[in-house]
Every structure is written in C-alpha cells, then in structure tokens.
Structure 1
C-alpha cells in the first residue's frame, strides 16, 4: 500500500479536536494555527472542516503566493464563496463596487477598514453559525490584512462567527502583507480576541501512529525512532521519508511489522516536500551552498570557509546564502558559529541529489583539510566516511591504512561501518597480498553480520584471483562462505555443479572437494546423499587440515540429526576434545554454536542451557533462529516473534534446518494466539523451503482451527510425503501423532496404528524426550493406553520449562482419559504463560462441558474479548468466528455487539487500525 493510503494516518487528531471544541464554544473569534513547512497545517484545516461540516457553515479560502499581489483579493474570494453565482445581484453591487474602488487606490485608514468590515460582516452573520478557514494566511494581501482587525471585532460577541487561519513559520517577513498581519494579530491577541496555536513536531507516539497508517503495518521501534529523528517530527518529511525508504528497499514489512533494512545506508532519497522546497526553490546559488553544507556542516565554524573554497565563491556570498537558509528555517545556527540542518531528512535529501563527482570533491576537501591540520573533525567516523566517499581524490596509501585499521576495529560491533570502510579499502590497496587480506576482512564482516550473498561474492573474488595467498584452512573457510552465498542468492545451477564436483572457483584439494560437495548437497536439500558422501570419503577429509576435518565432523553429525540419528551429536557434546580445531578461537565458538543449534532443533532445552553454561556462550552470541528457538521453547513468545521477523528480514539462509524449524514455530505461535490469517501468510512464505513438511504440519494446525478438516488432513499427508521424500525424521516427532489422531477422527483404526508404529520408530532413532513424549501420546490416543498416557505426562512434567509443548501434552493426555480435570487445568495455566489465547478459550469450554471448575468471570470475559478482537482484525466472517470459537453465529453476533460497545470502536476497520497502531492489544 502506498504512502498515505493506510488505515490510520491522522497524527493530528488531538489538535483537530481542540480546534473543533474551540469553534463550537466560540472561545476566540480568530485562531491562528502556525507551524513549520510540512507540519500538517492544511491537513488540520481539512480535518477540521470535516468535523464541523454537520454543525456549522464552513467556508475555506486557500491562498497562494500570487494572492498577495491583488489588493482585497482575499475579500473578493470570500464574497464569491458567500454569494456564489450572484455577482450581478443588485444587493451585492455596492459592496463589490466599493471594494473595487479601494483596490485601485486603497487609502489605508482605520475608517476605511471599518467601513469595509461593516459591509462584509452581515453576509457572514447571515450564514451563522459560520467558521471561515483560511489556509496559508501568510499570502494574504496587505489590504485584507489591514481590515482583519475590524472584521474580527464584528465577529466578537454572540455572532457565532469565527476564523481559523494557518500560518507558515518563517514566511511573511518578505511579503507585503506580512508586517500588517503580524501587527493586527498582536493587537487582537492582546485584546483577547485572537489566540495562537503552534503545531509542534509530532511526538514519537504520533510519528508511530502516522507511520502505521502510511505503511499499513506496525512500525518496529528502531524504524520508528530513526524516521522520527530524521524528520524531527515533521509529518511531510516523515511521509517523504517513508516513500523514499520504500523505493530504496530500506524498509521491509515482515508479518505486518515494518522494519529498517539495515543493508541500505543513508542517505536515502526522499520525494519532494515543503521543507526541501525551501532550499531547492531559493535559487541555484543558495541550493549549492546547502548541498555543500550537507557534506561539510559537521566541521562547525570551519565549514562555511571550506564551502566557499570548494565552490569557488566569496565567503561573504556563502554567508549571505546561509542567512537565507536560516531565515527559511532549513538551517539552524550553532553556538560554535557553525550551522546544522533543522531537519536531518533535508540534509539527506540534498546528499542523495549530489552528483558523484561533487560529493567526492567535497568529501576530499574535508579530508585534506583535516589531514593538513586546517580544521578539526568532530570524530574519527566523520573523517573515515569522507575518506570512503572521496575515492581517488585523497592519498590512496594513507586512506587504505586508516580504512583497514578502523574496519577491523568495528568488525564485530558495527557491520554497516565495517562493510563501508573495508569496501573502500579494497579499492585503495596496491598489492595482491593486501587486496587478498582486505577481501578476507570484508568477507568476514559481511558473513558475521548475515550479509551472506555479499560475503559469498567477496569469497568468490579471493578464491578466483588470490587463492595462492591462502592457507588450506582459509581456503576451506572461504569455500563455505562462497557456497553459503550461492544458497542465499538462489544460484541452484552453480550449487548443483559444486555438488557434482565441478567448479571453476573452488580449490581442487581432495579433502576440501569432499567437504564442499557435501555442503552443497546439504544446502540443496539432499541430506542422504551428503551423509553417504561424507561417510565414504571420511579417510580423505579426516586426513586433511584440522579445519576441513572439523567441517566434515560437523556436517556428518548434522546429517545424522536431520535424518534421524542423534548419536554423533551427543557424542560430540559429551566429548568436545574430538574437535581438532578447537584450539582456534573462531572455530571453537562455531563448534559450540553448532552444538546448541542441533540441541535446540531436537527440543532439548535443558541440555542446551547446560551446554551454554559450561561453554560460557551467551544468548546474544547465537544466531537469530537459535535465539528464536530458545524463546519459543522457553515460552517468551513476544521475543520469539520479534526474532523470527528480524531473521526473515535479514535473509538468513533458508536451506539450514533451523530456519525451517523457526518458520514452524512462528506459525504455531500465531495460530495459538488467534492470528490465523497471519499464520497462513507466513506459511505461504515457507512453502518452498527444503524441509517443507514442518511448514505444512504447522499450517495444518491453523486449518483445523478454522474448521477446514479436509484441507488440514491434506496438509498432514503432504507433510508425510515430503518428509519421506527427503528422508527427514527431524520435525516429524509430533507429525505421526497428529496423523494418528486424524485417522481416529476418520474412524480408520488400521491407519492410526500405522502412524503409531512410525512414531515408535522415530522415537527409537532420535531418542529424545520430545520424540518419546509424542510417541506415548499417539499410543494413548489410539489404544486408550493408561500406561502410555502416564509416561507421556511424566516426561512432560520433566519438560515443564517448555510450557507450550507441555501444555499440549497435558491436553492430549486429558483427552485420552488421563486425569482430565487436572490435565486440563494444568494445560490452561501453561497456555496462559505463553499467551495462547485460542487454546485458553478451548480449554475453558472443555472445563465447562465436563463440569470442572474454571476461571473467574472477569478473566474469562477479558480473554474472550481479546481473542475475538484478534479474530475480527484477521478478517474472519461471523460464520468463521462461530467455527473457531465453537459457538453459534447468534452468540457471536451478541459478543461482537457487546465488545464494540465496550471498547469504543465503531467498526471492524477501526478495530483493525487500533490493533495495527498499538492503541488496542498493545
């Protein structure tokens, strides 16, 4: 949806409300609404006109710069609105003739102004109650401004006639009516007949609301903060920024949440807006000075002289241009004698319009001045950014040295800076050895900060052009980065060539070749083939360098987990000395991350925490999908969904199993909370993942909630077929149990027993708590086996730190006849811990239908309303609501009526907008 067409883009609702109430109460005959260019003055006037339309006559005068040229022009336009089509009416002719004579040779006297005002006022009073809205009053002609005081005097009292005018700050000083208008307003304000309302910059909350309406998504806090700061709360600048960010790909929407795409750096070009026009329409000379200051302003008091030198202008000329930019409110004077842009978005817009040579030239001027000691830089980062921008216009050797030094400094902490500086360094180095080193650093920076595709391209350059400068271990590391980059870009053809042993880029070392082929097979979803290749080539890769050997060990253990043999993983976790490159810090760290990743995929949360504690690995050091798994399993679902969205935003490799498992968990979270449309949308995004069985299985739970049993069963069978095709056992633990329960619903006992047997074999091979739990639950459901139910509950209690899976176990055990009251009650409490509102509602009904004690009325009402609001915002019809809530349509209609009456929203659209902006259910 384009900017400005969202559900809620009214960030000035409070101001409109105050003005409306003032107009109704007749607080003051004249109200001037003043604000910066782009502050929303016209928008406020439009909304006010709409608010007053039903209770008063509303006339709107929109003035433009040309209106200042015609004496009494505003009065003529007012008469045309008061008496449209009646210019020849004899009753109006004397007044028009009088104003016509005065316009030709206007005598400026209070008596004349009073005479005109007295003649005009009866026309206004005849329309009472009347509100006259004047937009851009700074363009009012001098004669009309002169008589305004007399007219407002007539409007005082009980005439119920008022004027609301907007005024642009920074305008009026250089126009004919400006002085008269200011003097008149000051006098009326002193008399209590006029008041001033400043449109202040939007607060952060207002900016978030406006953003949500513009993009039809909830803005992430970081994005909202960045745009709010760049626009300084100016609505026009904010709107232009949104358009610019979307056009540049600097903003992405994931699961109805808008995020900043970190790989697109400022300045982001913005569309034209009033703040920018204050610069671009001031003349070429002023604009060029503004552009120069966009680069040089951080140098403070030294910037004007440097700008004059760079532009070849006299310093006095530059100073005059700066004065004009300050008067136009584009720049603000600083205490140190320098200037800054009032709104950073204007600076960035000017930078984005600068030609490449002009930018390089200005940047070089700044760098050389700092290096020569002529000026003092505000910080190292300013100089380094200008060095990167200056290109060949500054000393290459010094530039390369500083860029490499500081690129290493921020390698782990600031990916954007590291990539920017190291990229510039690559083009400055002069020898092949230096270039190889710079490319290695750049590739590492990109890989560390999840720029896999770009890191892969760096690795390609090094492997193709500089492999002679690499050790075997470095060649192996870069080969993995290169193959990961191919996967991220979807280069399936080249990936297939590598898997077949053909590549003009990768080294031809036998050990490396086996590992690279196996990794390409894994990234292509061919896990059985990768496992067989690694097993058959063990002697080759295990006899190579330690890094290659450990990659082989890692990949073989990973294949085991995915295909149903966790023994190698648990051996490595128990005996870390089996790793051969553990003495290298980077590889030690990656080995621990691999162990944690695999344990989390198996649902071994307690084991994961112990391993992290023993190794000293923190949550912050894990990948996004692994951190998601920790939060999902541990029950912190808001954090889990934030991590899932950020991972999708960053484009983490979807070929990796944990990415697939993350999608599975995120879909289940949304479904359990009632966000059924969002869950299905996320499932559609994951339809083509290599391990599609986990996505199909997650979406099955959503269709079952919607009452689409046929579609749900088809997804179950699709998941089973997909898992069998790929040879996967990972992610099938509860798939077989759901297939068994589905067969029971279809009264096919023989099929149900088949799935129980599949479940038993999976539990035996994976040998994890989750796998055994799911098998016992399947057996309890199909055979009504009390012993199986007891064993399932015992395992679930040991996994109490995994609240959602434990709650589902209690639910299925209770439905299988195991201590129903206790099982349902405990499940209900655990669902509350994670916010699974759908399952809380289902459990309340189960408790009620079975005559068991349930929650109190207040809690029930509150949670029922919350779930209903979510489902309504998801666009469900009343019939669908009835299915999901297991109620009649009539009951649903009653609930909707009561909910809308209580929460104060008049329609489903308003409710959806309130949820979107966080005003409801935040």
Structure 2
C-alpha cells in the first residue's frame, strides 16, 4: 500500500531515521506492525528514500511462496551471494543448500542463521547495509525466523534490518512500533492532500474519518470513490470504504487464500452483525464444520473471536466478505442463521435474516420486522430492519411510513447521513409528510441551516396538528430552538401563538410540559416574566413527575431548559442529568448534545466550572460523532467562555478557531465566541473592547441577536462598561437582567444584579459599597464560589479606591485565597495586585525595579510599558490624570530614569527569569 504522503507517522519516521543514523557505527533492527493500509510499505519506502551511502537489500513476503522454505530469503540475499565465499565452509554449504531448495535439518538451523548473519556482515564491510523485508508474515516462516535471529544480533555490525508485519507475530527482542489509527487532525490533513490542498468541510471530514477508522489507505479509497456532491457535503457519504478499492482488493486477496471452511464460517460471522459467539457456534455446527475453522482468519488479522463477541477489526473486511460470496451462498447463510435463532430475545435478528433471504414483496415478513424493531435498544439495527420492511411492503403508504420510522431510528442512533438518505428515498406524494418534515427540520437544525429548519418545522407542525398534537408541539419546540440558535428571538412569538392553539386543558403530562415550556419561553423573550414564571415552573414540576413512555430525553431537556429560565439551577441540573442518562440508556445519541448543553449551562450557573467544561467536552465529542455541526459549535463556544473565565487564553482562542466558518451573524456559537473574547479583553485590561463586543450581542428591544446569551454575559458587560464610563449600554442590559432576576427566587441572580448596580454607582459612594455588600450577602455560601470571589475582589477594590485600605485587605485576601483554590491564577494575581496597592506585601519579593515601587506605582508603570497614555491609565484605574502624572514623576525618580522607553526596559529586566543574564 504505497502512500505518497505520510500523515500521523512522525514517531515511526523518527525511529527509522535513528536506525539509519546509527549505521556507520553499529547496526540495529526495527519491526513495524500495522493492519493493511496503515502505511507499512510507505514507511519502508521512506527508509529507502532517506538512506545514504548504503547498500540496500529489499524483499517482500509473498503468500504464493509461503509454503516454500527460505524462498523469501533466497530473493533477498541473491544480490550478495557472491560474498558467500567469506563464510566458514560449513556455514557456506548449509546456506547455499537451503537457498537452493534442499531445505535445512533442524539441527543445522543455528548454523544457517549464523551464515545469514555472516553474509550480511561481509556485505557491509565496504558500505553499510540496509535490509528490508515488507510483509514478512505473508511469506515463508523459515525466512521470518532467520531474519528475526539476525535482527537480534546486529549491535557490532553495520547492518540495519527493517521488517513489517500485519499480524502480531512472535518476533521478540526487536524494537517494535504499532501503527495506530490516524487521529482527526491527521485524517483531515490526508484528505486535504488528496483534494488538491483544500480540506473538506468539517462534516465531510468527520464522516470519512469515521468510515475509514483512521486507516490511511481507506481514506484514500474513500476520497477516490466520492462524487462531486459528496465532496461538497450535499449528498450522503459512504459508511465503509469501497470493496473494490485498493484496500478492499488487498483484503479480498487475503480471503482467497483461506480454506473453504474458514470462508464459510467467516461469511456466517459477517452476516450476523450481533457477533454473539454462541450463535456462530450453533450455525457452524449446522453447516457441518466448527467455529475453530476461523483460526486461519484470526491469524491473518481478519476477525477477532472473543468470549463475548466476534468482531471485525476493520469494518471493511465484513463488507468484502459479503461482497465476495455468491448470492446463493449469502441467502443460504441467512436462512441457516435464522434457523438457529429462536426465542423473543432474537426476534429482530431472526426476522432480519429471513428478510435478507426473501425474494420479492412479503407483507407478513415486513410486519414482523416492524413489530420486532419497535422499541429495540439498537437504533441502527432497528433502522435497517424498518428499511428492509419498507422494501418488502406491497402498500406504498405503509412503505413510506416505515422509511420515515427507519430514518427516525437512524437519527436517534446518531447516524445523520443515513437518516438523510432514507428521507431522500421517500416518494414525492408520501402520506407521512408531517413526520418526515419534523425529522428533516430537526436534521437541518442540528447539522444544517437553522433558518431553513424553522420553515420546515413550522410546516411540519401545521401538517401534524390535526393528527398528532404531541408531535406538532415537538415540532414547535424544535422551531423555537431554531429561532434561538439563529438569533431571531422576535420570531418566537409566532411559535408561541401556534403552540397556544394546540393546547388543551386535558392534555397528558408530557404534552402539557411542552405547551408550558413554549409558552413560558415566549413570555420570557417578551420580557413578561410574571406570566412566564408560572408556566416554566409548571414545566419543571412536570419534568420531575414523568414516568413510562412520557419520560424521554426531549421532555426532560425541555423541563431543564425551563428550569434555567426561572433560575432553579439545582432542579435544572437534575433534569438535564437525567436526560443525559436516559439518552445513553436508550441509545438516543442524537439527543445527547442538547442535554449536555443544558447540563453545562446549569453547572455554569452553579459555579461548577470544571464540571461544565467536562459536560461541554463530552457534548462536543458526541455532536461531532453524530454529525451535529451546529451543536458542536455551541459546545465549542461554551468551552471558549469557560476557558476565558479561567484566563486560559490559548485554549479559549483555539476553541474559537475550531468553530470555523461563521454559522450566522447572530448565531449562538458566534455570540458565545464574542463573550469569550470579551472576557479575555477584561482580563487584559481592555474594558472598552469588552464592552463593545458584549453590547453588540443583542438588541433586547427588538428581540434580534442572542438575547439569552447577553443576559448570561451581562455581569461582564456591566463591569467592562463601568470601567470606561459607558453607562447607557450597561444600563439597558442591566435593566433586562434586573427584570429577569427579580422574577426569580434565585439569590445568586440577585447577587449579580446588586453587584452590577454597585459597579455602576459613583466611585467611592455609599451606594456603591452598599450594593456590593448586598451582593456579597446574597451569594450562596454553598455554591457559586467563583462569583462570590469576584464580588469580594470588586468590593475590595472599591474600598481601596475609597482610601480604606485596611477594610479592603480583608476582602482581597478572601478573594485571593478563593481564586487560588479554584486554580484561577489570573484572577488571583488581580487580587494580589490590589492587595499590594492597598499596602500589603504578598507573594514572593519583587526584584529590581518592581521592588522599589508601591503596588499602585507598579501597576501604572506596567500600563506605561504596554503603551497606555496617561489619560488611558487614569480611566482604567479610576484616577485623575493629575494623580497619574504625580505617580509617574515619583516612579521616574525612584528608578533613576527619564523616559517611558527606559521604564519599559527596566520592567522588562524585572520580568526576565532569574539566571537569564
């Protein structure tokens, strides 16, 4: 498998270079093990290209010669056999006899191996020698044994041996590298190499990477088989590499060399996707053989038989095994498997095998498949069964309904591309347009264009309103999510009106929950919190009472979202956690990213930033695995915010870059990214930039933009705006925040409100201190440690600026200790700086210039070194320009300097590491 570009093989290339670099002074050996297509041959070629001033002997193990002892050795050593005369007579005779096909008696094998070593050493006397044998496990075993013997005894020679193998052969004593699957980054880079340097769209790269399983040749084969529409992400992508690709042909060649019984049992294993060993044992016995016939396939690395499951390490092998078998053999194997499966637990598997063997429509079998698939825990298996049921149906309406159900199961299992493919196969006049539209809209919402999703979901809700109000409400819930994701909150009013028309007084709990959630959200976005509160609290209560079939990840997620809107964070977290657990238990992977988003939001409000980060990381992984690009962006945005709050600039910016192409001017990922950047601006003392970013998130009066994100970020907006005296922008946002906070019973929200009012009050006023102390009193002592510490810091700063340093130090010490325990180093440093400005000596002793300045003088000096003007410094530190001028004269006098340039140089020396000279 020659690959022109090596990706993900940095360690192996380095090992090869080290092996070659040691050749002039001493030999060595290296064994590369990896599955077909992993790049073993490309690494051998890499060694050939990078060797200099050496003789090269190259061979390849050939399966055609596997039964001919020493055939591979003969081909390898033929170019240097003229050096055999340098060997002792007995060694020379045994070597030439073996290479001539006369074999080697067991008691002479040591002499033969020593002869091979001696021959290679003799050939390397004039020039170092590189000896490579690719696929050593495919050729004859005596050759492999002899080369292994030699490879272990090269320290004193100028010979290097490089061997590759696909299987885990027992070649001990040789340095071994296992070629691991490519990670996402290397897979994407390899795809870009094959697409003329243009990386594919993220969803295309993710789907191809999953289909290839990290195998480089599989990726190449996939790319070469793609249509233009698939490359652009406009058509469904293949789920496995093509069986007629280069890798598929390589596996086909391996299959052809297996015994007939092995191929027969391997076909049974390939057709029975459940992989239950007991089933395979029974099926093999009925077929007149035994499961032990798989041993040659195991040794060839094609299949793995474990106590609880029979698996194919490379999914392509399963596809190739099926494709290689004649139609009659496949049909007979399916019928045999159906015969050995009995009992209720095997109902779907048995029906699936019967359906695979069926010829022509079979309504009874289609009905059996549909019934067996209902509620099956494996969504992918249920989807395949329903698709086959549609094919066996003789009623077009039933066939369409089964296709939609198959698409729903596929989507639930996280296979978005399969769901789209199934929906695309529906006839134009399908009688299930409402259900199909609901699923199309959900797919578009999670992985497409949310604004288009809104139109599709509203149409689906209208189509379903007369037949299934619960599904119609579900469509409206998703439509509301599309509105909020795209930043078009003003359009939620229409969603709310439609939901109100569907509400009935005798609705079951799950339906009532959806109605209450939509109504409460619509009222919240209108600013009518008195009306929103009862509806949202009712949704929370109902979410905790649901049981049986009404208990789903979707209903629990709605209840959790309602809890966040009324600031009952503990209840919201419990509901979101239950939604996550239920989605996992039922295999509803498509519901996980949304549930994890809500759990992360609840953890943010509870002050559990580390937990929120873990939830968002899992949400990101799941969103990418299930093709939900939009929700991957949401989780990336939240991770960026959480990193920024920790002042982890590199991580935050990396997450923002990962969001990639802007999904919309007012989209939620974009808003979260702007929030993260604003927090970093605040950390870096750029309050004007922070205020401008946050003020642009939304316009609450019009409902455009990310109103809900702006509400979450309001405390940061107020802090930034207060620092630059930009009160109108902060006042408008705080008014919205206040109306919401006052409608809740949340002490933490009211604490944040009071803190914001304290920041906007005149500096040094009794009002500012009173509001900040109120905030401190309201902060819960058992949660929200970070926000409480932030309030301690802000109150300490206020007291210090009011010339009350002794009172300030108490709060600043508390803040510094809390930030240190939380690992928030940047915020702890801010508290330390304030403590020094308040006359407290903390931390390690300052050096040189910094040691000569007070805390306030040091801060002014640092701002000067950063290029700030006196006016800018005065605004940032809430001082007059006259006071800044006075401090700057004292700084120049203490340091014995005359200019700002000299000051910057003095601080640079202060910041230099000790011992740097």
Scaled by the length of structure 2, the TM-score of the pair is 0.62
Aligned to 1:135: 133
Query: Are 1:166 and 2:141 counterparts?
Result: no
Aligned to 1:95: none
Aligned to 2:656: 680
Aligned to 1:406: 372
Distance in 2 of aligned mates of 1:854 and 1:822: 13
Q: Kindly state the Cα deviation for residue 678 of structure 1 after the two structures are TM-superposed.
A: 1.7
Equivalent residues of 2:682, 2:720 under 8 A apart: no
Aligned 1:305-384 pairs, distance under 5 A? 329=300, 343-345=313-315, 347-348=317-318, 350-351=320-321, 362-372=329-339, 383=350
Q: Kindly state the Cα deviation for residue 716 of structure 1 after the two structures are TM-superposed.
A: 2.3
Q: Aligned-pair RMSD on alpha carbons? A: 6.8
Aligned to 2:716: 738
Instruction: Specify whether residues 12 and 802 from structure 1 end up closer, same or farther in structure 2 by C-alpha distance, changes over 3 A only.
Output: farther
Distance in 1 of aligned mates of 2:310 and 2:504: 61
Aligned to 2:392: 428
Aligned to 1:561: 524
Query: Are 1:646 and 2:621 counterparts?
Result: yes
2:253 pairs, out of 257, 277, 280, with: 280
Distance in 1 of aligned mates of 2:542 and 2:112: 98
Structure 1, 576-585 or 668-677: larger mean CA deviation: 576-585
Query: Are 1:793 and 2:776 counterparts?
Result: yes
Equivalent residues of 1:248, 1:264 under 8 A apart: no
Deviation string, structure 1 residues 440-498 (Cα, Å, up to 9, x no partner): 75466356556689879869979974479xxxxxx8x8876565455444374584487
Query: Are 1:802 and 2:761 counterparts?
Result: no
Aligned 1:643-722 pairs, distance under 5 A? 643-649=618-624, 664-671=637-644, 672=646, 673-674=648-649, 675-682=651-658, 684=660, 687-688=663-664, 690-691=667-668, 693-705=671-683, 712-721=690-699
Aligned 1:538-617 pairs, distance under 5 A? 538=500, 541-542=503-504, 551-572=514-535, 575=538, 585-587=548-550, 591-601=555-565, 603-608=567-572
Equivalent residues of 1:704, 1:712 under 8 A apart: yes
Distance in 1 of aligned mates of 2:166 and 2:139: 17
- Segments of 5+ residues of structure 2 without an aligned counterpart are 87-91, 191-204, 227-235, 273-278, 586-591, 801-806, 846-865, 868-903
Instruction: Specify whether residues 270 and 241 from structure 1 end up closer, same or farther in structure 2 by C-alpha distance, changes over 3 A only.
Output: farther
Distance in 1 of aligned mates of 2:344 and 2:218: 28
Q: Kindly state the Cα deviation for residue 700 of structure 1 after the two structures are TM-superposed.
A: 2.1
2:161 counterpart SS class = strand
Q: Kindly state the Cα deviation for residue 640 of structure 1 after the two structures are TM-superposed.
A: 1.9
- Segments of 5+ residues of structure 1 without an aligned counterpart are 83-91, 93-97, 173-185, 187-194, 218-222, 232-236, 250-262, 309-314, 469-474, 858-878, 881-885, 899-922
Aligned to 2:56: 60
Distance in 1 of aligned mates of 2:164 and 2:9: 26
Aligned to 1:293: 266
Aligned to 1:490: 449
Structure 1, 275-284 or 109-118: larger mean CA deviation: 109-118
Distance in 2 of aligned mates of 1:106 and 1:539: 92
Equivalent residues of 1:446, 1:452 under 8 A apart: yes
Distance in 2 of aligned mates of 1:397 and 1:510: 26
Distance in 2 of aligned mates of 1:141 and 1:284: 13
Aligned to 2:493: 531
Distance in 1 of aligned mates of 2:623 and 2:699: 26
Instruction: Specify whether residues 304 and 21 from structure 1 end up closer, same or farther in structure 2 by C-alpha distance, changes over 3 A only.
Output: farther
Instruction: Specify whether residues 378 and 169 from structure 1 end up closer, same or farther in structure 2 by C-alpha distance, changes over 3 A only.
Output: farther
Instruction: Specify whether residues 676 and 282 from structure 1 end up closer, same or farther in structure 2 by C-alpha distance, changes over 3 A only.
Output: closer
1:396 pairs, out of 350, 362, 365, with: 362
Distance in 2 of aligned mates of 1:157 and 1:588: 68
Distance in 2 of aligned mates of 1:755 and 1:580: 31
Deviation string, structure 1 residues 535-572 (Cα, Å, up to 9, x no partner): 59957744796687664433111212344344445424
Instruction: Specify whether residues 698 and 602 from structure 1 end up closer, same or farther in structure 2 by C-alpha distance, changes over 3 A only.
Output: farther
Q: Kindly state the Cα deviation for residue 726 of structure 1 after the two structures are TM-superposed.
A: 1.9
Q: Tell me how many residue pairs correspond in the alignment.
A: 764
1:207 counterpart SS class = coil
Distance in 1 of aligned mates of 2:494 and 2:699: 22
Distance in 1 of aligned mates of 2:512 and 2:829: 53
Aligned to 1:10: 11
Equivalent residues of 1:34, 1:166 under 8 A apart: yes
Q: Kindly state the Cα deviation for residue 781 of structure 1 after the two structures are TM-superposed.
A: 1.9
Distance in 2 of aligned mates of 1:373 and 1:139: 37
Q: Kindly state the Cα deviation for residue 164 of structure 1 after the two structures are TM-superposed.
A: 2.7
Distance in 1 of aligned mates of 2:622 and 2:187: 24
Equivalent residues of 1:644, 1:666 under 8 A apart: no
Aligned to 1:125: 125
Q: Kindly state the Cα deviation for residue 3 of structure 1 after the two structures are TM-superposed.
A: 11
